[in-house]
Structure 1
Amino acid sequence: MFSTAGSSAFFSLTLLLISALVLLLLRYYLPLRTTPAYVLVPVFLAIALPASIVLLVPIDLASSAGTDTDGSRGIWLPEMVVYKSWRVTYWLTFALTWVILPLLGEYCDSGYREPKERFLYALRSNGRYQLMYLGTGMVGAIYFFLQNGWRFESFKALVMALAYAWGLVLAIYLMGHGLVAVPRSLWRYASVSGRLKRLQGNAPRVHDRLTEALDKLEQYEAQVVQLKQRKNGTAREFQEWIDELVEMSSLPESRASGTRTSSVAVPPVITERYLADLTRKLKRARHAKVRFTDEWDRLVRKALNTQAILDSSASKRLEFLESPFQSPPTTFFSRPTVLTPYTRYHLYKHLIPTLTYTLSLLASLASASVIWSETVKSLEPKLSLVGLTVVHHPRSDRGRIGFGGQLIAALWLCYMCICAFFSLSEVRVWGNRALVRRGTYEESATWYGVQVAKLTVPLAYNFVTFVPPNIYRETGFYKFLGRLIVLTPLGNGFETFFPMFVLVPVLASIFGLYSKAKDIFGFADLLDDEEEENGDEGTGSWREGRALIERERQGLVGNSLGLASRNGSRDGSPRVEAPGYRDEPNGVVGPSASASASASASARLGRSRRVQDVEDEDEEGGFFSDFADRVRNTFDEVEFRKPKWLGGEEEENGRGRRGGRARDGGAGLARWFGKDEGRVRL
């Protein structure tokens, strides 16, 4: 009889390590001191519990199919401990996914002041969401009760099967997309020049979104300024509420009254619902500004570093310059005490691209293995490549799983989860939610916690089915969840054959079907296909981004884009702040570099100027550009004369007068297309 003391100690220490890593992750995306505990604790559990599932699955496999030798048995626990661990982990994750975090997200997003009003708002906002699942559950309940009769076990099986089915549908789609997107992203990242071109191509889009966020924030802040002017005519509790909104805002009264007075619509009667709606919109606008400011700063920093890598090819020396727009490198390999400029050049120019290409090839092989295993496991489980790498056969007629198989199983499960979570940021159909360094919106943090908790359990059980049935049916995971999923023939067929639909997102990603779908159905704002980035080289988008990044690099003085960090003073004059990070009025820490607090009017002026700069740069184009200009000039100089039967004699007599007018408004064919004194010629 083997002892479980060592396995129990390893399991406990690993759980502590996972908890520490989750805390570091939360500290990276959330300001721990200002984030309330009722947000931190559920989000922490929503990430830590799924992470422990990645550890629990290999332990469950080895506990039910371990080897007979103590040295290679691996980490195992008694059957009852594994079963109870699954019960606690699953039901906590279930409650966080379907009840706690959705209500908490709406509670954080509410604009009301009192906790009771915020909780009622969360209930109302989640009512439609919960009624949709309740209606689906009623339809499933009729089928379950007709199939198995009215029993509590049937009701519990219904709830677990429906939650698993919905999570599996989303997990299969996201994982299938990620199985292609992860190797492709690694392959593209290895090319330094291609990486710079993509950064420059994304720069106009990011800057336009930043400008829109600044405009929207300015509108809401101007509305708050007008509310302040009418504060004395409202109720006492509304006056305190308006004072809080004024403290939350940062727009001076002079700018607000001078720029947005005509577009602000303040109702004649101030109500609680109006103030709550304005508070919610103002919070969203402030966090949108923090989000796109951080995205713009990271894009500029990456573009400058990538440009420095390309420029170092001649001198064989690489140094990342420090500027007001670019924070000093903080990675281990970028410290000057560790790497010299010469070694840094070889690291970023040769070693990192080679390692990235290698990782891309390994990820491609792993993706192909997962796709093959998903398609053949229902037909012939013995052909599953993932199962063959996990299950070993040491001198026995039944497959065994040792410590090596546990490590391989953990790596496979981690890769499947990484592909699914990577797609959350790739596929832009989730609204305005994003993870921002030290500035993530609380509602966004709860939403991402929901997705992590929702996807991990279906992916974990889907991975368990890669091994032969005589092994995974002995696990505690199957006895707790799988047995209830296959309680009816419908559930059994869904669990067996639906994972084969992973081919749909895989083929859609490989052949670029997303771009075709958005052209047909109008999903241009939802689906961003990276394949189109290389196709825009002739349109000037990457040149426009290069002009934006270059002007950003030049410094604070004479910055027509308005990308300097400025806050208006009371007299309306701009005040320049030092670069770096500063505390937002609401306790949110956000970057104050470049575009964070710039005036939207300057940004709009910069947008028009950058277009003119790009047009000036394009005058010195390549062969096709020069050829098109020469053809156009040739036709512009052609002078067509009317025949005599159409008044040609008048043309000859008045040639000089009309010729002068033609020279003023455009000659030849150009006059037919609207170049005659600004009028359009039909």
Structure 2
Amino acid sequence: MWWSLGLEIFLIGIIVFWAISYLVAKNTPYHVYLTVWVSWTCALALVALVPLDLNLVYTKRCISLYGNRTDIHLKMCDLRYWRSWSAIDPSLGDKQTLKVSEEALRTSWLVVYTVCQLNGWIILTFQQSYIETRHFSKMFKLHQAFLDNMGFYATCAVVGALLVVILVISGNDLEYVIYGLMACSNAVCLVIVAVLFGYGLAEYPRSLWQDCQTALKLRRVQISVTVHYETFKKAAEELAGKLGQVYQLRKAASSSLRAMGPKIMLTAAECPLDIASVLVMDPVRGPSIPETDDEYRLAFISQLQEIELDQTHNQKLTEVDRWLLALE
């Protein structure tokens, strides 16, 4: 039993890793990769544990049906699968083997339910807010994600506390709390499995067939490249305009907006580049400090283009390269 349980978890982890590697987008953060892998692995492990549990229940009922007639239940109830524990401890008998198997399955269920509970209701919600926040600094992202989910966590804590109080007043034990946790975990896991299988069974064969068609794949890539390039240009122009506004605020932080200076400097520190050192390259005057809105926009767009060339092609621009680009 132990070897099949370990083999199932290992194979599920490998298959999930391969599926995520195929579906994951470029430059996806590793923490997102890890949480998605944990979510899918635990959800599929939940499904894999069901046949083992049913087999154990069937074996125990078969033994109880024939009572103490050992010669009959050994013949009618197949225990070879559960006797694999004897490879670890040869002194185990049939009853001890079933007891150890039951404890192993109970521990496996507890681990899967606990991980699904924490991952589905706490980690994934916090991570989604962390990814979607518009801050650049990690500390600001963590702070904003905590603020976004504080109300949700407080609501869950209040509801959980009320359920515990109701159980205590009604005289029930904490076993009902475990049932509640199982229900919540099942909700998360079953949704993940439904989405994974529902999307994968329909989308994966179609995408695999399309990838095998070279001409169709090339045509689709050409269309997507144009769309992504236009989207990137619009995003770069919008970001350049926002950076220009931050640049002007930073200049005014030492004069007319001195009272708001600390907050402005915090905002400037979150920018993805050092806005204080950005210069605009003029074909006649050479590098100079931007003064107008158009110069701000051109300066930051050129700086973003340099970052793109550096990260994509590992290409560093010189002063001559900047001057040639300014001529265009």
TM-score (norm 1): 0.29
Amino acid at match of 1:244: A
Measure how far apart 1:84 and its partner are.
Answer: 0.8
Q: Does 1:211 align with 2:201?
A: no
Question: Distance in 1 between the 2:147 and 2:203 partners?
Answer: 38
Q: 1:177 to 1:96 in 2, by over 3 A?
A: closer
Q: 1:57 to 1:72 in 2, by over 3 A?
A: farther
Measure how far apart 1:567 and its partner are.
Answer: 7.3
1:92 pairs with one of 115, 118, 121: 115
Deviations 1:555-591 (A, max 9, x none): xxxxxxxxxxx9747xxxx997996xx4xxxxxxx42
1:591 pairs with one of 312, 316, 321: 312
Amino acid at match of 1:184: R
Question: Distance in 2 between the 1:9 and 1:165 partners?
Answer: 23
Amino acid at match of 1:97: G
Question: Distance in 1 between the 2:295 and 2:44 partners?
Answer: 55
Question: Distance in 1 between the 2:179 and 2:4 partners?
Answer: 31
Question: Distance in 2 between the 1:247 and 1:234 partners?
Answer: 25
Measure how far apart 1:73 and its partner are.
Answer: 7.8
**Contact 2:130–2:142 (CA<8 Å) still a contact in 1?**
yes
Which residue number in structure 1 is paired with residue 55 of structure 2?
65
Question: Distance in 2 between the 1:167 and 1:8 partners?
Answer: 22
Q: Does 1:125 align with 2:115?
A: no
Question: Distance in 2 between the 1:112 and 1:165 partners?
Answer: 34
Q: 1:54 to 1:88 in 2, by over 3 A?
A: same
**Contact 1:62–1:73 (CA<8 Å) still a contact in 2?**
no
Deviations 1:354-385 (A, max 9, x none): xxxxxxxxxxxxxxxxxxxxxxxxxxxxxxxx
Question: Distance in 2 between the 1:178 and 1:106 partners?
Answer: 26
Superposed, 1:551-566 pairs within 5 Å as none
Measure how far apart 1:100 and its partner are.
Answer: 3.2
1:198 pairs with one of 212, 215, 220: 220
Question: Distance in 1 between the 2:195 and 2:6 partners?
Answer: 34
Question: Distance in 2 between the 1:134 and 1:9 partners?
Answer: 34
Measure how far apart 1:215 and its partner are.
Answer: 1.5
Which residue number in structure 2 is paired with residue 665 of structure 1?
none
Which residue number in structure 2 is paired with residue 252 of structure 1?
278
Superposed, 1:328-339 pairs within 5 Å as none
Question: Distance in 2 between the 1:192 and 1:68 partners?
Answer: 53
Q: Unaligned regions of 5+ residues in structure 1, if any? A: 33-39, 264-565, 583-589, 603-682
| Higher RCO structure, 1 or 2 (CA under 8 Å, sep 6+) | 1
Amino acid at match of 2:273: M
Q: 1:127 to 1:260 in 2, by over 3 A?
A: farther
Q: 1:206 to 1:121 in 2, by over 3 A?
A: closer
**Contact 1:106–1:125 (CA<8 Å) still a contact in 2?**
yes
Q: Does 1:103 align with 2:126?
A: yes
Amino acid at match of 1:591: T
Which residue number in structure 2 is paired with residue 157 of structure 1?
179
Amino acid at match of 2:113: Y
Question: Distance in 1 between the 2:141 and 2:217 partners?
Answer: 45
Question: Distance in 2 between the 1:217 and 1:247 partners?
Answer: 10
Q: Does 1:231 align with 2:253?
A: yes
Which residue number in structure 2 is paired with residue 47 of structure 1?
37
Q: 1:247 to 1:48 in 2, by over 3 A?
A: closer
Measure how far apart 1:79 and its partner are.
Answer: 1.9
Question: Distance in 2 between the 1:127 and 1:188 partners?
Answer: 44
Question: Distance in 2 between the 1:577 and 1:152 partners?
Answer: 57
Question: Distance in 1 between the 2:127 and 2:112 partners?
Answer: 20
Question: Distance in 2 between the 1:186 and 1:96 partners?
Answer: 31
Measure how far apart 1:199 and its partner are.
Answer: 2.4
Question: Distance in 2 between the 1:218 and 1:127 partners?
Answer: 33
Which residue number in structure 2 is paired with residue 241 of structure 1?
266
Question: Distance in 1 between the 2:305 and 2:54 partners?
Answer: 67
2:102 pairs with one of 52, 57, 79: 79
Question: Distance in 1 between the 2:204 and 2:295 partners?
Answer: 48
Question: Distance in 1 between the 2:184 and 2:49 partners?
Answer: 26
Which residue number in structure 2 is paired with residue 185 of structure 1?
207
Deviations 1:394-437 (A, max 9, x none): xxxxxxxxxxxxxxxxxxxxxxxxxxxxxxxxxxxxxxxxxxxx
Superposed, 1:403-482 pairs within 5 Å as none
Q: 1:113 to 1:45 in 2, by over 3 A?
A: closer
**Contact 2:210–2:217 (CA<8 Å) still a contact in 1?**
yes
Q: 1:162 to 1:260 in 2, by over 3 A?
A: farther
Superposed, 1:338-417 pairs within 5 Å as none
Q: Does 1:221 align with 2:243?
A: yes
Question: Distance in 1 between the 2:41 and 2:112 partners?
Answer: 10
Superposed, 1:275-354 pairs within 5 Å as none
Q: 1:78 to 1:53 in 2, by over 3 A?
A: farther
Which residue number in structure 2 is paired with residue 364 of structure 1?
none
Question: Distance in 1 between the 2:82 and 2:186 partners?
Answer: 37
Measure how far apart 1:104 and its partner are.
Answer: 4.6
Measure how far apart 1:154 and its partner are.
Answer: 3.8
Question: Distance in 1 between the 2:229 and 2:107 partners?
Answer: 51
Q: 1:68 to 1:78 in 2, by over 3 A?
A: closer
Deviations 1:109-162 (A, max 9, x none): 3749795x7666434312565588799x79xx7xx99xx996644454345425
Which residue number in structure 2 is paired with residue 482 of structure 1?
none
Measure how far apart 1:102 and its partner are.
Answer: 2.3
Question: Distance in 1 between the 2:79 and 2:196 partners?
Answer: 39
Q: 1:101 to 1:189 in 2, by over 3 A?
A: closer
Question: Distance in 2 between the 1:64 and 1:229 partners?
Answer: 71
Amino acid at match of 1:205: V
Q: 1:30 to 1:86 in 2, by over 3 A?
A: same
Measure how far apart 1:83 and its partner are.
Answer: 1.1
**Contact 1:107–1:119 (CA<8 Å) still a contact in 2?**
yes
Q: Does 1:175 align with 2:197?
A: yes
Measure how far apart 1:169 and its partner are.
Answer: 5.1
